[in-house]
Structure 1
Amino acid sequence: MSDLTGKVALVTGGSRGIGAAIARRLAAAGADVALTYQSAETAAKSVVAEIEALGRRAIAVRADSADAGEVADSVHRAAAELGRLDVLVNNAGIFPSKPFEEFTVEEIDRALHVHARAAFVGAQAAVGHMTEGGRIISIGSNLTDHAPFGGIALYNLSKSALNGFTKALARELGPRSITVNLVQPGATDTDMNPADGEHAPNQVGLTALGRFGAADDVAATVAFLAGPAGRSITGAILTVDSGTNA
């Protein structure tokens, strides 16, 4: 396991699913962890309690990732309350899905704000607190490389922005020894997309391994990138999708 002893991480959207798994995994590796949530306060407090039970410090910050001010404030609060910031994980996300003609401008803006603008603003705020060895890791989607069904044009538009952002920012922050990477999950067993759900058989049929991934599979990849072994990996896009895009 990666050694993150003495490090502080912020995981956006860390109250459930992949975000919660990442928060727990980073804490298990030794990091103190801040996490944001929009509405799931009870779930966020539960994750905080689990992290504290590991002997680590943890805080939950309410922040809507569609609000640029709240995104920046959550970063600054994490650094202030936990004393530093070494790792930013841009995980918060939504899944807008319907025929593209039906999306309103407001829905388009929200998806772009949550996925693209929040990652940009969060990184802007984070680098002011980071020293050499900082890590910025975003959570994208394997669907941006291969769209096997309709209804995801807006989702893919907003998530695809992270691909170019990751590569450009990695180049820009390289001289400061801050790495920037993107992890792209595929079908992952969470409460939003359970492995025994209505649409699971179709998703499983697309994978090479014949199964859903687990949230901890993604979390393990993030922890590796956040740790010492990931120091020479930057500008990379790592796909964790049970071989769907193979």
Structure 2
Amino acid sequence: MEGHKARTLDRLSARLKGRTAWISGGKRIGQVVARALAEQGVNIVACYRSSAKEASQIVAEARKLGRKALAVQADAGNPQQMERAVRQASKTFSKFDILINMASVFSRVKFEDITAADWQSNIDAHILGTFWPARFLAPRMSPGAHIINIADRTSLGKVFPDYLPYVVTKQAVQGLTRALAVELAPKGIFVNAIAPGPILKPQDISQKDWNAFRSRSRIKFPVTDAEATEQFALLVIYLSLVTLTSGNTYSLDQGHNL
């Protein structure tokens, strides 16, 4: 039985070899995802807004593994920049098989201090930054391609205070995922989302507060940040392969919504 499982996994993984993935937002978790896909034989396009150093690292690691890789600069929420970036990448890659929308902002703001700028930055990153990459890449995708959006655990359960624009726009990603799945179903493109909980410590939270937050889970099983990012990457790989699901959001919340 174990041998059969191994052969099944090998057969599924083999389907990724030679495919091309576009990753919008290649910082932090995005770097781990890019590396995991490259290890499976996937070519990489790293689309970045301001993280040129991290995008260059992704390209260097992918090329070291023998993959074709390219970094392109664009704000995922800006249609003109995204259209230009897709045209640029299309000179190297004739088609795209996987789109992973990871561009995000995450900042604490109390209800009474929320500004129009807070709303706009979250709308641009999470809603428009999910829509425009799909809009410009879908015409260059073939049947069997996959789009993976990143929602948040609050899309499926408990909502936390002081992040109202973030929470609302991340919940919108779940609705956008279902709508895109309907729009792109005739093209044979699968669209799903991941709703992660605590994966990597946010920069505006102390290590002490992060450890305390992690410990609130009903599941008393320690998971390090490195292990959490690896498991996140595994779910991305799964959703880059499976053809029995579309329009769904998969929780990766470590039991925090129980």
Q: Which is higher, the Rg of structure 1 or of structure 2?
A: 2
After the TM superposition, which of the residue ranges 98-107 and 178-187 deviates more from structure 2? 98-107
Shift of 1:238: 0.5
Shift of 1:32: 0.4
| Secondary structure, counterpart of 1:239 in structure 2 | strand
Structure 1 partner of 2:117: 106
RMSD (Å), alpha carbons: 2.0
| Secondary structure, counterpart of 1:60 in structure 2 | strand
Match of 2:38 among 4, 27, 30: 27
CA distance in 2, matches of 1:188, 1:157: 20
| Secondary structure, counterpart of 1:19 in structure 2 | helix
Shift of 1:148: 4.9
Q: Does 1:175 align with 2:189?
A: no
| Secondary structure, counterpart of 1:74 in structure 2 | helix
CA distance in 1, matches of 2:22, 2:53: 18
**Per the alignment, do residues 72 and 217 of structure 1 end up closer, same or farther by CA in structure 2, a change over 3 Å counting?**
farther
CA distance in 2, matches of 1:76, 1:138: 22
CA distance in 2, matches of 1:111, 1:189: 19
The alignment covers a number of residue pairs equal to 242
Match of 2:50 among 12, 36, 39: 39
Q: Which runs of 5+ in 2 are unaligned?
A: 1-8
**Per the alignment, do residues 66 and 132 of structure 1 end up closer, same or farther by CA in structure 2, a change over 3 Å counting?**
closer
Q: Does 1:215 align with 2:215?
A: no
Match of 1:156 among 167, 192, 205: 167
CA distance in 2, matches of 1:85, 1:216: 24
Structure 1 partner of 2:4: none
TM-score (norm: length of structure 2): 0.87
Structure 2 partner of 1:10: 22
Q: Which runs of 5+ in 1 are unaligned?
A: none
CA distance in 1, matches of 2:164, 2:251: 20
Match of 2:98 among 87, 92, 103: 87
Q: Does 1:198 align with 2:208?
A: yes
* More relative contact order, 1 or 2 (CA 8 Å, 6+ apart): 1
CA distance in 1, matches of 2:99, 2:145: 8
| Secondary structure, counterpart of 1:206 in structure 2 | coil
Residue by residue, what CA displacement relative to the aligned partner does 1:201-234 show, whole Å, maximum 9, x if unpaired? 232123233444521211110111112xx01111
CA distance in 2, matches of 1:128, 1:152: 35
After the TM superposition, which of the residue ranges 157-166 and 35-44 deviates more from structure 2? 35-44
After the TM superposition, which of the residue ranges 141-150 and 156-165 deviates more from structure 2? 141-150
TM-score (norm: length of structure 1): 0.90
| Secondary structure, counterpart of 1:35 in structure 2 | strand
Structure 2 partner of 1:71: 82
CA distance in 2, matches of 1:154, 1:107: 7
Shift of 1:178: 0.6
Structure 1 partner of 2:157: 146
CA distance in 2, matches of 1:58, 1:191: 28
**Percentage of identical aligned residues:** 29
